Amino acid sequence: MVTTISKAKSIGLVLSGGGIRGMAHIGLLKAMQERELEAKTVAGSSVGALVGALYANGNSIEDMLQFFKDTPLFQYNFFALNKPGFIDTERYYKIFKGYFPKDSFECLEKPLFVVATDLLKGEEKVFTKGKLIKPLLASAALTPVFSPVEIDRTLYADGGVMNNFPKEYIDGKADFIIGSNVSIAGEIQKKDLKNSLQLAGRVTGLMIYASSHQKLQECDLFIEPKELEKIGVLDKKGIQKAFSIGYDHGCRTMDKQLKKELI
């Protein structure tokens, strides 16, 4: 693997899960675009899979942001009935169909690896061919908020549960890997651990962060903006702020790398 982005023949991109914080991925993509850097292969989990799919589909930065602004998170007629989860994930199918009318991995402009969690077998599943929308919905089905998605008689949910930073699917397919991790688990206060739900969320967050952070360090270039901690995972008001944070970090990180390569 080469260590210079300017000499790389192929760039791989890995995008983590992290809800609304994933708008930072789009900011990174804008920074890459301005420096004429384009990934040839993409892997993502949860919101990273959604952003990765839009990127692999050739959507503009503006279209990507609009997709998340237009997609309702909590809408009364989306509430699940007779399904586990509060929101019926499959109600989003028509919205996704508007952005991915051909509903096919093969119709994307770039190879895409989407990770979801097989709830029945208790293992991760990577989707990379065939129907596109249902795997995307499954990968982003954050439990327990969103209901699992049924694909071939199996229930799938949030890819971040088993693999929040699926770098291994890019290894060997690119000679320079760029990673973006938005699942941050920094220091908190005692007041933030007052009940069992907060405790469970903290422990889960730490486990996901530990596995993601280790693989992130193996990338040739990466961003992991700590400022994203202040943005709620499901807070749509944070879309623009998360995007700006990702863009700023992407610009600084790539400019530093490119400057180092010139020395």
Q: Is the dihedral of CA 235, 60, 160, 245 positive or negative?
A: negative
3-state secondary structure of 81: coil
113-137 as b/e: b if 16+ CB within 10 A: bbbbbbbeeeebbbbbeeebbbbbb
Q: Is residue 212 among the annotated active site residues?
A: no
Which contiguous run of DSSP H or E holds residue 51?
helix 47-56
Token couple for 173? 């397919």
Helix, strand and coil content of the chain, in percent to the nearest 5, comes to: 50, 15, 35
Cα 46 from Cα 48, distance rounded (Å): 5
Burial class of residue 112 in the structure, from the number of CB atoms within 10 Å of its CB (0-12 exposed, 13-18 middle, 19+ buried): buried
In 71-128, which residue ranges form alpha helices assigned H by DSSP? 93-99
Token couple for 143? 């439990």
Q: One of 46, 139, 147, 183 is an active-site residue; which one?
A: 46
Q: One of 45, 118, 139, 158 is an active-site residue; which one?
A: 158
Strand 154-157 with 112-118, pairing? antiparallel
Cα 140 from Cα 149, distance rounded (Å): 10
115 neighbors 126 (Cβ within 8 angstroms): yes
Main-chain phi, psi angles of 193, to 5 degrees: -125, 65
* Residue whose entry in the numeric block shows the structure tokens 């292969």: 41
Q: Is residue 158 among the annotated active site residues?
A: yes
List active site positions: 46, 158
